[in-house]
Chain A
């Protein structure tokens, strides 16, 4: 199935640990995103990544770093986890270039629920 997938689905860890969340899309899109959904279900952009251009939301702590090994993958590394990092993290993708093949629609993954104890 064509989709945006994330691993793991659930992640429980202790404060101070470093963890990664992986995202893969097989839609052939050139732009990927990370969003954070807090306990009040509010979705907020963290990063967008188009080929080699990374656009960072200024409110995101530098403990968070996206890494893209190739166009189909965008991983999220989090260092020194804090209690406030507990949330659901969503990856999304979109095709932004290519004329007729570009789309304004972002397609989301199933989410990773991170719990920091």
Chain B
């Protein structure tokens, strides 16, 4: 069964303290790995798509990387406005929907 596992469930950082979030997946024939950001009371907001091992994408303080079994979302010198839940997802085998992990809730304090 296709699965997506994210760790840690929650992460508390001080402003400027860099860290990484992990997303491991078990799906045959990966057709993309997606990162979303979700703020409280809002819908998931698209961040990145990665397709092949070794691929990296960056946006402001965020950088996403992909290996054959997992993806990392690196957060460099985070600010309080980076506080949110970060969701990782992969398409199901039929390509008809996304399978989401349970997310990592990031809190950045000043």
Contacts and interface: CB of A to CB of B under 8 A. Distances in A.
Interface of A: 4, 33, 40-45, 48, 55, 57, 90, 92, 104-111
Contact of B85 (A41, A44, A90, A106): A41
Given A48-B96, A90-B44, A104 B32 contact: yes
A41 B42 contact: no
Contact of B96 (A42, A44, A55, A105): A55
A13 B33 CA distance: 37
Nearest to A48: B96
Interface stretch (B12-20, B62-70, B73-81, B97-105): B97-105
Interface of B: 31-32, 34, 36, 38, 41-46, 49, 85, 87, 89, 91-92, 94, 96-100, 102-103
A108 B87 CA distance: 13
B43 A45 contact: no
B42 A43 contact: no
Contact of A45 (B34, B41, B98, B103): B98
B85 A43 contact: no
A110 B100 contact: no
B95 to A, nearest CB: 8
